[in-house]
Copies of this chain bind each other. A is one copy, B any other.
Amino acid sequence: MPHEEAAAGLDRVDQRYTRGRRALVEVLAGADRPLTVPEILAASGSAVPQSSAYRSLTVLIDAGVVRRVTGTDDMGRFELAEHLRGHHHHLHCVSCGTVADVQAVPRLERALAAAAELAAEETGFAVMEHRIDLVGHCSGCR
C-alpha cells in the first residue's frame, strides 16, 4: 500500500491526507494503467464527487504522488507517480485511446537520458523528465 508515501508527499506541501484523497490513491494503486476521471469515479463507487476528484488530483500531482498522462485523445489520465509505481512507458492506442503500461528497457533509458541532456543544452529548456510513447493499435483494436 502506498499510503505512507502519499501521506509523506502531501505533508511536504502542507496538505492533509483525507478520506477522499486516500480513496483516489487506492483506486490508482489498483489499476494497471492510467485512468480517466470518469473511470476513477466509477471505480471508487461514487464515493468521491467529480469536483473533489479533480481538485484532489491536482493536489496529489502537486505533492508528487500522482502524475497526469495525456493520450492520443485529449482526456486526462492519471496514475501514481514513478517512485510509487516504478519507471515505465506507455502504449497509446489510436483507435480506443486506452493507454497501457510497458516496462522500461534499461539500454534505451541510458541512451535517452544522454539525448535529453543534449537537447536541453541546445534549446535552453530546463528538462524535468522525458517521455517515450509508442503509438499504435492495442491487441483489442486490431
Contact = CB atoms under 8 A, between A and B. Distances in A.
Nearest to A70: B70
Contacts of A91: 119, 123, 125, 127
A120 interface: yes
A1 interface: no
A47 interface: no
Interface in A119-136: 119-120, 122-136
Contact of A126 (B76, B102, B129, B137): B137
Nearest to A128: B136
Task: Give the interface SS of chain A, mostly helix, strand, loop or mixed.
Answer: mixed
A101 to B, nearest CB: 10
A89 B72 CA distance: 16
A128 B124 contact: no
Interface residues of A, number: 44
Contacts of A129: 134-136
Interface stretch (A6-14, A25-33, A79-87, A107-115): A107-115
A127 B135 contact: yes
A1 to B, nearest CB: 28
Contacts of A75: 74
